[in-house]
Amino acid sequence: MNTDAPLADRLAARMRAEGPISYAAFLDAALYDDHDGFYARHGSAGRRGDFITSPEVGPLFGAVLAHAIDDWWRDAGEPPLWRVVECGAGRGTLARAVLAARPDCLDALEYVLVERSDRLRTGHPDSAGCRSVAALPTDAAPGVVIANELLDNLAFAVRERHEGEWREVLVDVDADGAFIEMIGPPDDRPWPAADDGARLPVQEAAGDWLRDALRLAAPGRVVVIDYAATSAEMAARPWSDWVRTYRAHERGGHPLEGPGLQDVTVDVAVDQLAAVRPPTRDRAQADFLRAHGIDALVAEGRRVWDERAHLGDLAALRARSRVREADALLDPAGLGGFRVLEWAVD
Ligand SMILES: C[S@@+](CC[C@H](N)C(=O)[O-])C[C@H]1O[C@@H](n2cnc3c(N)ncnc32)[C@H](O)[C@@H]1O
């Protein structure tokens, strides 16, 4: 196949030669094709990027996570090597904030940034104890595997309810070269019952990722931070509620439009992850951040701002920013309502 041709042409040629493909295959190419995938070419988090994530709100999220990493290190008996594997590290913003907060475990800390996009890996920090790789390590070590807004970005398949059974939704190309959906074979797994026309995502890549992550942090934990729902909840809502597309901070078009030109994200199906292994803990991001000390960091920010506001120096501005960041990170209708799922590993 001609890899110089635009992605849409290559996908269309593949469908004409091989027949319809799964949504998962289409989305994996749209997001991660080496030449034209959204993350290969344009996509990133941040104010100048396509969407804002908790680390991109400012350094406070990383400072709280540094406390969490210390708490988990102490729980594990302060081992001399404590490996943090951050998967889907994007531009490396979270890693920079965690390291800048100088966690107590710093001398034991090996921080591994895992990022599939070559382009984004070039911006990763290059400090001692830090390394940047394209795929999860394969060896186990004591520590933590963390994924912030990774699993919502992994390719997923789609099922649709037809005459009382769930059937796969496939992607084909019409005579004009437009991508179209077609109904494929039935799926007789015990998905929740729903009205005809209902849809749900099947998140095999997220399940595979969790299986791999659980083998890595031993002993330790896997921590997934994301927007989430159950398969049954999603089947009861229009699919446009739980599949979202973005480009440059604007909502994008239908997920089949312009492969590579828009981000495609999905609510993470907690029950599908729990089928791999039930999480040890599932709480809202606001509760997680409070449990690991956000309130004390914000109180310190308020104190510094009160003392230094009249100076208007960098320390004063940083302190004021911390208070604003906390509002965004704790907002129950926004980032504060994200789920934090934890799996403790012996
Ligand atoms: C929505 S962004 C989140 C970035 C960052 N964690 C944040 O919160 O700002 C998801 C990132 O995961 C990366 N990614 C997707 N699949 C991956 C995989 N299997 N391994 C490593 N990185 C992956 C994408 O390239 C993208 O940079």
Query: What share of the chain in percent tops pLDDT 70?
Result: 97
Query: Above 60 in pLDDT, residue 1?
Result: no
The mean pLDDT value of the chain amounts to 95
Distance from residue 309's CA to the centre of ligand 1 (Å): 37
pLDDT at position 3:
63
Q: Name the residue of 41, 54, 116, 285 to mutate for ligand 1: max ligand atoms within 8 A of Cβ.
A: 116
Long-range contacts of 137-140 (CB under 8 A, 24+ apart): 137/85, 137/112, 137/216, 138/216, 139/216, 140/215, 140/216, 140/217, 140/218
Q: Are 148 and 88 in contact (CB under 8 A)?
A: yes
Taking only the tens place, the pLDDT of each residue in 239-267 is 999 999 998 778 999 999 999 999 999 99
Q: Are 38 and 260 in contact (CB under 8 A)?
A: yes
Taking only the tens place, the pLDDT of each residue in 6-33 is 999 999 999 999 999 999 999 999 999 9
pLDDT at position 44:
67
Taking only the tens place, the pLDDT of each residue in 118-176 is 989 998 988 888 999 999 999 999 999 999 999 999 999 999 999 999 999 999 999 99
∠ Cα 165 12 168 (to 5°): 10
115 lines ligand 1 (CB under 6 A): yes
Residue 2 pLDDT grade (very low, low, confident, very high; cuts 50, 70, 90) = low
Tell me the one-letter amino acid at 150.
L
pLDDT at position 36:
94
Taking only the tens place, the pLDDT of each residue in 37-63 is 999 887 666 666 667 899 999 999 999
342 lines ligand 1 (CB under 6 A): no
E strand or H helix at 165, and its extent?
strand 165-173
Distance from residue 89's CA to the centre of ligand 1 (Å): 6
Taking alpha carbons only, the member of 56, 116, 54, 130 closest to residue 294 is 54
What is this structure's pTM? 0.95
149 lines ligand 1 (CB under 6 A): yes
pLDDT at position 128:
81
Atom number in ligand 1 closest to CA 44: 27
153 lines ligand 1 (CB under 6 A): yes
Atom number in ligand 1 closest to CA 263: 1
90 lines ligand 1 (CB under 6 A): yes
Mean of pLDDT values over 79-101: 97
Query: Above 60 in pLDDT, residue 275?
Result: yes
Q: Are 204 and 268 in contact (CB under 8 A)?
A: no
Rounded CA separation 140/327 (Å): 37
Q: Name the residue of 51, 153, 210, 263 to mutate for ligand 1: max ligand atoms within 8 A of Cβ.
A: 153
